[in-house]
Structure formats: structure tokens, C-alpha cells
Amino acid sequence: MGDPFIFSEGDTYYLYGTTSDEGIEVFTSKDLIHWDGPVGATDGLALHRNDVFGEKWFWAPEVYKHQGKYYMFYSAEEHIAVAVSSSPLGPFTQEKQVPLISTKAIDTHLFIDGDGKKYLYYVAFSNGNVIWMCEMNNDLLSIKPETVKECFGRSQPWEFSTKEPVGVVNEGPFILKKKKTYYMVYSANHYASQDYGIGYATSRSPHGPWTKYDKNPVMQSPDTLSGTGHCSFFRDREGNLLMVYHAHYSKHSVHPRRVLIQKVDFEKRKKAKAPELVIDTSRIVPLTHAYFTNPIFDGADPWVLQKDSFYYWCANTHQGIEISKSRLLTQKGESKKVWSSPDTGWNRKNIWAPELHYIHGKYYIYYAAGYEGPPFTWQKSGVLESRTDDPQGEYTDLGMLQTGDDPMNPQTNVWAIDVTILQHKNKLYAVWSGWDKPATTDKTSQQLYIAPMSNPYTISGPRVLLSRPEESWETGGPLDLNEGPEILKNDSNIFIVYSCRESWLKEYRLGQLRLVHPDSSVLVRANWIKSGPVFQGTNQVLGTGHASFTLSPDKKEHWIIYHAKKVGDTWLGAGCTRTAL
């Protein structure tokens, strides 16, 4: 999250920031440590683009309460705007979907002085990013054009960083007042530069003129952080003044930006004309829980495909398969049933673990199903092919995959579930969990197999055993299983991450197979190195398994989605967490 802002009311803190092109998300907390969300009124969004000015680039929101209503100042499409709601959760809307001013601007900040006068500070694009201000009318929906005035641009040496990317930037203004002195805290340098930092200027009037603090920057890459900036301020329940800001994810990656909190104070120094703003960097508090909601939804065997800025969840529903579409990984969004199982045939019941893949310009859904059950001794795997370019459109049933020793002879077909697809060196391979041979009981051990494919719906060669439950961490239960294989690629490394032990027990966990070399044959068992467990539960979250993988919105970070059980609960909840690769 970038450009964070915390609004406090009653016993709840509300966190807003730059996260989505669909609008502005909001997260809530009672203690500034544990966060829920996004919990906005519209699919997690407090402000949705359909209700306000702007189609994209929703940045730097701030929320204020005035005369019983809530006002959100925000930027969209490099213009500033304000929307109104009856709740801090939204929905924030505009009667007239227009910006506050016609010229390009970002980073609005509202300051209401002790005499009730209202001031708006913002960043205009004039020879770089320059801070401007104006007075607002009492309705907070319009400005007084005759009061528009430039505050300042970059001028101090620290604001002229040569670290790439270079930007002519003073931005993110925020006003604090201590007695008769006004403090404008701001950020300088390009937001993606490691030298993005925080300074402040003082004045005896909200109109200026402003004098920059001679010891700026007051924060710039403390300790292991970089890109620290775009701060705002609030008071906690004890009355402490706190600063919330963002930092780069790491020294090497900007996104996803991290949200942190610092305690700040004013200290009177000798010969100083006004108290100095001091940031306590001895205790840096990251808001690590502000990004996720766990569980996301009830259900097992989660699968997510990222395509064209959207996340598509694929799941079994009542005798069929549905696809959900959302720009947010933490929200399933609108769901559509794309296929219903037939009344007769091998795949009329027990639809399990569907996966959506994009291969050679089309969407394919791989799933397991059976003729009867329980007992589940009839499970085989099938494939659906999209008829349109829409993953939520119609599909054609292409029938059963041949997962036996001889794909040319359907009589050799063997129980198979959890099919996934490995695309490697312009070739396709099916990977799945199956039985060694047909059995009359579903209390049968499962192994992992791989086979070549001539196209996305045809297995063209005999299956090869890749893994069977043999290690101590994948055995020891009433029925040892290897299942739910998923492909994970990182640089030149190829992994098959799979689930082991029993899915209904707390010991369900993840192991992995790693291809020894990217040029090694994937059809040779000896070329895969097993290790584990690579992911397992805690004393509160049990049975973590059947994972799938996707990317962060900027496609720079891998994410794992999995299901689990919680202590005292009987449901399987899909959860989301990071995997560091």
C-alpha cells in the first residue's frame, strides 16, 4: 500500500491508501496491530470508480468528518477530487462526478484551522511536483479560486538526489499546528528512488511564506528501510501523535510498498524559533496485517489465475464449476457458473479441484469427477475448452483425459485427480495425483505422475511416476497421500509443490520437487529432488495444503493460496499469505 492515511473514530482506526485502480480500499483495526480488510462497502472498496470522478490511478486518499458527514479527498487520473459518505466505510460518492480544479494535480490535504477556516494543500505539475494551497468553501466541495497560491518546490540539497529514478518532486503535504506555528510535512525526490524522504517547513500563517527546516531530511532510509515518505499524522487512544508512511518493499524492489508507523513529538531546542518536529526512529512498527483477510472465503482446493490485471478464482459449485473475477486478490468478485455436470456419464458427480489455465490463446479448465461416490473409486480427470476470449464465458466439454499407462487404450485408464499443466520449453505436460492401479476402495494411497501432451486436451505418452509417499514427513497416517501438485517457476528454477498426508487431518502440509537443471528431462523421476515440509500449519491454523500460486498485481512477487482448518472450526477456509522466493 502506498500513500497511507489513518482516520480514527470511536474505538476503530480506518486505514486508506493507494492500492487499486478500481478505487480506494479501507482496512480497520482496534489496536493498530491486527487489521481486517479490505472492508469497504463495495467489494472492499470505500470508494468505487463507478460512483465518482476518475477511471484509474486512484491515489493518496484522506478522510475527514465534518458536520456529520465523511469527506474523502483523493487523486484520480492526475486530478484532485472529493467524495462524500455517511460512513467511513463508504460508499463515497459524488453528485457531480468532476474534479475540484481543472488543472492536473495530486496529493490533496485538508487542514481546518482553529478559527474554522478551511485550507486545501495539493501538488500541481509546474516545473516538477510543486506544493500549492487555497482556501475552501464551507461545504468542502469547492475552492475559492482567488486564494490559490504556490507554497514551494524543491530547494534544499537533499531534494536533488541523483539516484535513479530522478524526479523534480516536493509532494504529499500535511499540516500540523503547534501553538502559533504551522508545520508542513512533505516528501521529496522520486517515490521510486531509495532517497525518497521526509522534510518539513514552518510558517506563522497557513498561507505561508514557508521556511524549510535546516536539518532536513527528518527521515530518509532509516536502518534497513528505503523510499520512506508520503506520511500523514493521527493520534492514538492515549493521545500520542503518530506518523503513518510507506516504504519500499526492500532495497531492491519498490512494490508492494510497506506501511509503517512512527511516534513523533515536538521538542524545544535552544535558539530555535519554534519547537522542532522529532521522529522517533527507535521503534519502527510495520502494519504487516493490513494487506490480507484470512480466510478469504469458505471452501477447499483454491485456484487463482492472474490475467490482464484481473484475478480469476476457479471453484467447484453445486454440480458444476464457477469462475469469479476481481481486481483484488482478497475479494472473489462476481461469480458465474461456466459449466454444469451432465445428468449421465462418467463426470456426473463429485466435481473436485478445478483449475483454469490459459494455453495457446484459449482458456482450459481441468477438473476431477466421478460416476458414483462415495466411496470415491470412480474419479477421473476431464478438460473443458473456452468458446470465447472470456474466461467467464461458455466452455466445451472435451471429455476424459487418458491417465493410464497407455493413453491410446482407454481400458488402461486409472483413477486420477488434481490435474495441473506444466509448460516447459514450448511443450506441455500433465501432472496429477493418481492410483497405481484400479482399486475397489478409496482408502488407496496416491502418487504423483507426469505425462507429455500433444495439445491441451490430449495426453500423448505413458505416465511417469514422480513421487510416492516415502519420507517421514509425508507418511505416518491412516492413508498416505501425495496430491494437489502445482507448478511454481522462479528464474530458471522449476518446482512442483504438492500436498501430503491426509487432507482431513491437521498434519496436511506441502512438500516440493525441484528439477535439478532447467535442461533436464521432466519425464525422468531422478531429475526431481524432493524436500519438505516446505509449508505446514501452526497450533491455530491446521491442515494447510492444496495450494496454488499467483503473482502480485505488479507481477514482481509470488503468492500462495491454500486452504486450512482453524482450531475449533469444521470448515476449510482459503487463506492467502506470501511466499518468499
**DSSP, residue by residue, 374-405:** SS----EEEEEEESSS-TTS-EEEEEE---SS
pLDDT at 474: 94
Q: Is the pLDDT of residue 292 over 60?
A: no
CA distance 409 to 405: 9
| One-letter identity of residue 340 | S
Rounded to an integer, the average pLDDT of 193-199 is 93
Rounded to an integer, the average pLDDT of 58-80 is 96
pLDDT at 504: 85
How far, in Å, are 121, 281, 323, 443, 469 from residue 407 at the CA level? 69, 64, 30, 25, 25
How far, in Å, are 16, 64, 94, 384 from residue 84 at the CA level? 15, 10, 7, 46
Confidence at 581, pLDDT banded by 50, 70, 90: very low
Domain with CATH 2.115.10.20 in the chain: 2-290, 301-578
Q: Would you tell me which CATH number, out of the four given (2.115.10.20, 2.10.109.10, 1.20.140.10, 1.10.10.10), belongs to the domain 301-578? A: 2.115.10.20
- The string of DSSP letters for 517-541 reads -TTS-TT-GGGEEEEEEEE---SSE
Start-to-end Cα distance in the chain: 21
pLDDT at 505: 87
Cα diameter, the chain: 93
Average pLDDT, the chain: 90
Q: Quote the cell numbers at residue 477.
A: 497416517
Rounded to an integer, the average pLDDT of 43-59 is 92
Q: Is the pLDDT of residue 395 over 70?
A: yes
Is there a contact between 407 and 461 (Cβ–Cβ < 8 Å)?
A: yes
CA distance 151 to 107: 14
pLDDT at 543: 87
Q: How many CA atoms lie within 13 A of 80 on its CB side?
A: 27
Model confidence pLDDT, tens digit, residues 25-45: 999 998 888 788 788 988 889
pLDDT at 268: 82
pLDDT at 200: 95
Is there a contact between 573 and 294 (Cβ–Cβ < 8 Å)?
A: yes
478 or 366, greater pLDDT:
366
β-strands 23-29, 2-9: how paired?
Answer: unpaired
Is there a contact between 416 and 432 (Cβ–Cβ < 8 Å)?
A: yes
pLDDT at 146: 95
Model confidence pLDDT, tens digit, residues 294-320: 667 778 899 999 998 889 999 998 789
- Name the E strands within 91-148: 105-112, 118-125, 129-135
pLDDT at 453: 98
326 or 284, greater pLDDT:
326
Q: Is the pLDDT of residue 410 over 70?
A: yes
What is the fold of 2-290? Tachylectin-2; Chain A (2.115.10)
Is there a contact between 70 and 64 (Cβ–Cβ < 8 Å)?
A: yes
Rounded to an integer, the average pLDDT of 376-380 is 95
pLDDT at 241: 92
The pTM (predicted TM-score) of the whole model is 0.59
Q: Is the pLDDT of residue 553 over 90?
A: no
330 or 450, greater pLDDT:
450
Model confidence pLDDT, tens digit, residues 487-528: 999 888 999 999 999 888 889 999 999 999 999 999 999 999
Q: Is the pLDDT of residue 236 over 70?
A: yes
CA distance 23 to 36: 18
> Which of 203-212, 214-223, 413-422 bottoms out in mean pLDDT, i.e. has the lowest?
214-223
Rounded to an integer, the average pLDDT of 260-279 is 84
